[in-house]
Amino acid sequence: MDFKPYSLIYLFVTSTILISFIWFWPDKQIHLVSCDVGQGDAYLVSKEFTQILVDGGKNEQVLNCLEQFIPYWDRQIEIVIASHDDHDHVGGLTEVMKRYKVNNLIWNGKDSDSQDWEKIKLEANKQGTKVRKAYEGNLLINKIKLDFIWPQKQPLSITEDNQSSIVTRFSYEDFSVMFTGDIDTLTEEKLISGSVGLDSTVLKVSHHGSRYATSDKWLELVNPKIALIGVGKNSYGHPSEDVLSKLDSAGVTIYRTDKDGSVEISSDGVNWKLEQDGLYASNMLSNLIYDFSNKFNIKNIMHLLSTI
């Protein structure tokens, strides 16, 4: 039997690529990942080949999360939302935009001269990213509805940064997530007095669990089943015992990145579940394939082997 040289290598490479595509081929559910980026916020929402990133932490640490939960061959993010210009929310977005093509960038519309925001705008300009303000209207993408609840108009330059955070309610059928940035109780009061529906399956707890947010009334109206807290080692007392006690008393299940690491929740639009089983193995395989594809040009290897 006449074997070409390196035929086994060819078979191994093609089999590995095929298996990796099958392994990482997205299902039809919506997935929410609370990324462990230390003291900061970064949340990935995905459905099939649609990805939405809400904030990016303070540095390139967010890339570890994206590499684990976005198929390694997918280098496009449909929407990035920068809730406000605090470093621990947008410091990592420049690195994200260097790694991924970002189609749409949504910001709060508040004038900013921060270095982080200037770098983000520069990358957006290089990529041809469409930049829009949150209050310009709601969005629907791949059956995921994005309701931009706050700010309702362009924030004044004198407005406190945290109070200008974008508040967005994501919904897919009966499953919903309330993203809050770093809003405080004053902003919560304004939203409570409005007629906007706030009830959500998941609450992204504002300002890393600060005692200056998550009022009793706000918690009552959002009525979450799950609370996500992005937090790391800090000197601010985040998350506060008062907020944790409120959530616990309300029967809300709490997941915090400093204790639970990155957490993934999936839903078919009705039921939801926490994805933990097999997560470590999946991440390991993802990292191995990503490292391999980075070190070696797969297309060139395939072409070379096919000609031998």
Residue-wise pLDDT for 187-210, tens only, equals 999 999 886 789 999 999 999 999
State the Rg of the chain over Cα: 21
| Confidence label for 11 from pLDDT (cuts 50, 70 and 90) | low
Work out the mean pLDDT of the chain and round it to a whole number.
87
Among 87-91, 119-123, 257-261, 297-301, the range scoring the smallest mean pLDDT is 297-301
269-284 core/surface letters (b: 16 or more CB in 10 A; e: else):
eeebeebeeebeebbe
| C-alpha of 188 from chain center | 22
Residues 32, 43: contact at Cβ < 8 Å? yes
Is residue 167 a contact partner of residue 152, using CB atoms and an 8 Å limit?
no
Helix (H, G, I), strand (E, B) or coil at 69: helix
User: What are 135-145's pLDDT values in tens digits?
Assistant: 999 999 999 99
Ordered domains of the chain (ranges, CATH): 9-16+27-302 (3.60.15.10)
pLDDT at 8: 61
d(CA 87, CA 152): 23
Rounded Cα distance, 142 and 6, in Å: 43
Give pLDDT tens digits for 158-169.
678 899 999 999
**Confidence grade of residue 24 (pLDDT, cut at 50, 70, 90):** low
CA-to-CA dists, residue 306 to 8, 18, 240, angstroms: 12, 16, 60
Instruction: Check if the beta carbon of residue 139 is closer than 8 Å to that of residue 155.
Output: no
Question: Given a cut of 80, is residue 302 above it in pLDDT?
Answer: no
- Which helix H or strand E contains 131, and what residues bound it? strand 130-133
Q: DSSP alpha helices (H): ranges in the chain?
A: 7-24, 62-69, 87-90, 93-99, 115-127, 185-193, 216-222, 241-249, 257-260, 279-295, 298-306
